[in-house]
Homo-oligomer: A and B are copies of this chain.
Amino acid sequence: MTNAIQSSDRAAIEKIVASLEAAWNTGDGKAFGAPFSTDADFVNIRADHFQSRDAIAAGHDAIFRTIYAGSVNRYKVESVRLLRPDVALAHVHAVLNSPAGPLAGTHASRFSIVLTREGGGWQIASLHNTLVASDSR
C-alpha cells in the first residue's frame, strides 16, 4: 500500500523531472541521463528498451541531434506516491513541440518513473513512456 510522501521528497522528485525537461530543451544527452541509476531501464514511445545510464544518455544525444533537434518538451508531474519509504512511483504528462522530423508538430505522452533513494538522493531506476492516442488528445 502507498505510504504518505513528505513534501521534501515530492519536491526532490519534481526537481528531477524538471532537470529532464531542461536537458531535453537544451539538447544535452549527458544531462538527460544524469538522474538515472547506472543500471536504469528506459522504454521509449516506440517500445525500444535501453538498459544503463550510458545507453540512455547516448540514445538521447543521438535524437537531440537528429529527429528531435530544436524540439521543446514540457513536463507536468501528475502524481507521486511511495511504494516503500525509499521507492517512489511518479506519472508525468509530456507535451512535445517538434519543428520537424517524424513527430513534427505537437504530441502528448505519459511516462512513469520509478525512483529509489540512494545515499545522495533520489535516482531514476526505470522510465516507461507511451504516446497519447491521437483521438485522446
A62-107 contacts to B, CB under 8 A, are 78-79, 81, 83-84, 86-87, 89, 91
Q: Which of B46, B87, B132 contacts A133 (CB 8 A)?
A: B46
Residues of A within 8 A of B (CB): 1-2, 37-39, 41, 43-49, 51, 78-79, 81, 83-84, 86-87, 89, 91, 108-112, 114, 116, 125-126, 128-133, 136
* Nearest-CB residue, chain B, relative to A109: B47
Contacts of A78 in B (CB 8 A): 49
Cβ of B87 and Cβ of A83 under 8 Å apart?
yes
- Closest-by-CB residue of B relative to A116 is B83
Does B89 lie within 8 Å of A133, measured CB to CB? no
> A130 → chain B, closest Cβ, in Å?
4
Determine the chain B residues whose CB is within 8 A of the CB of A132 once the complex forms.
Answer: 46-47
Say yes or no: A39 contacts B89, CB within 8 Å: no
Q: Are B89 and A41 within 8 A (Cβ)?
A: yes
Which residues of the other chain, B, contact A112 by a CB distance below 8 angstroms?
Answer: 41, 43, 126, 128
